[in-house]
Amino acid sequence: MTTISIREVGPRDGLQNEAPVPAAAKVELIDALSATGVRRIEAVSFVHPKAIPQMADADEVWAKIARDPDVRYSALVPNVRGAERALAAGFTEVEVVVSASDTHNRKNINRSTEESLAELPALIELLHAGGASAELIIATSFGCPYEGDVDPGRVAGIVERAIGMGVDKVSFGDTTGMATPRRVRDVLTRVARERPLLCHFHNTRGTGLANILTALELGVTQFDASVGGLGGCPYAPGATGNVATEEVVHMLADMGYETGIDLDRLVEAAELAQRIVGRELPSGVLRAGPRYRTIA
């Protein structure tokens, strides 16, 4: 049985795209997620509170959660300042972001992709010196909301350069849900199979699980997902965010993959997430229940 590693990103990528919620609610959600059997949780990001007020309480949240020794918690950082805060807080797994699309990178941080890549070695060195691993998330890997299609060769080139710079893992971010099975194949077949790769799909246009299926066929075993499908898309108000963790686990479990996650507990965590944000979340497995829950 193949083991698939799921990273739960609802507390960060999900809640970052929802109206702000209290730190106590985030702590409750992260603790509920830690109890599902998931082995990795992206807990917070260390970003400027003016840029992303939803994450202003990152230190407080991180201080208050019950750290499960079986769970690896990670933080996302946008720059050296964020990396220093993550290290000071004691994180040992840190993610940094560069957009494959120049326009998206400029809109995000007012730099070209090339300029961001030039800063990457110092960031990696800082993280490694501080005892943390460094993962590079390549945003807009499967399409850019400004530029449209993104050249898969450009994405593959960034992978090779980042590996050369010493990153420990590369993640393909489907930032605005533009991936389809064809785009996934186009990118993944250009990257060497032995690379430590992770796919991060949004379900903005319904293709989330189809993309995961394609990535699985191409050997990817690590995926991001967000409990309840928490989150959204800053470019399309009302749009769906990350693929829902319970939809991913539900499909994988029925296909014979092992994730270590208790689906019933995960659905309970999704119910909690829904109460916390106070809106109906888009997860089908949350609404309808897993397929094994038959009518008596």
Q: Which is nearer to its own copies, 45 or 240 (CB)?
A: 240
Backbone phi, then psi, for 135, in 5-degree steps? -110, 135
* Active-site residue, from 150, 198, 233, 286: 233
Q: Which is nearer to its own copies, 131 or 148 (CB)?
A: 148
Determine the Cα–Cα distance for residues 28 and 31; give it in Å rounded to an integer.
Answer: 5
What torsion do the CA atoms of 10, 13, 18, 20 make, to the nearest 10 degrees? 90
Q: Does 154 bind its own copies (CB under 8 A)?
A: no
CA distances to 37, 69, 211, 212, 232 from 72, in Å: 11, 8, 25, 22, 25
CA distances to 177, 229, 253, 269 from 35, in Å: 29, 18, 18, 9
Q: Does 207 bind its own copies (CB under 8 A)?
A: yes
What character string, x for contact with its own copies (CB under 8 A) and - otherwise, covers 41-70?
A: ------------------------------
Which range in 38-46, 50-58, 61-69, 181-189 contacts its own copies by CB under 8 A? Answer: 181-189
Determine the Cα–Cα distance for residues 206 and 294; give it in Å rounded to an integer.
Answer: 25
Q: How far is the CB of 281 from its own copies (least distance, A)?
A: 11
Q: Find where tokens 């980042």 sit.
A: 162
Q: Does 277 bind its own copies (CB under 8 A)?
A: no
Backbone phi, then psi, for 94, in 5-degree steps? -130, 140
Q: How far is the CB of 144 from its own copies (least distance, A)?
A: 8
Tokens (6 digits) for 129: 């010196």
How many Cα atoms sit within 13 Å of 236 on the Cβ side? 16
Q: Select from 12, 26, 40, 250 the one that contacts its own copies (CB under 8 A).
A: 250
Q: Does 234 bind its own copies (CB under 8 A)?
A: no
Q: Does 157 bind its own copies (CB under 8 A)?
A: no
Which range in 58-66, 141-149, 157-165, 266-274 contacts its own copies by CB under 8 A? Answer: 141-149
Q: Annotate 164-211 with three-state secondary structure.
A: HHCCCEEEEECCCCCCCHHHHHHHHCCCCCCCCEEEECECCCCCHHHH
Q: What is the DSSP letter of 15?
A: G
Q: How far is the CB of 183 from its own copies (least distance, A)?
A: 7
Which range in 9-17, 73-81, 165-173, 228-236 contacts its own copies by CB under 8 A? Answer: 228-236
Q: Which is nearer to its own copies, 37 or 208 (CB)?
A: 208
Q: Select from 158, 170, 251, 277 the one that contacts its own copies (CB under 8 A).
A: 251
144 in active site: no
Determine the Cα–Cα distance for residues 257 and 249; give it in Å rounded to an integer.
Answer: 9
Q: In the complex, which residues of this chain contact its own copies (CB under 8 A)?
A: 143-148, 176-178, 180-183, 203-210, 212-214, 233, 235-236, 238-240, 243-244, 247, 250-251, 254-256, 280, 282-285, 287-292, 294-295
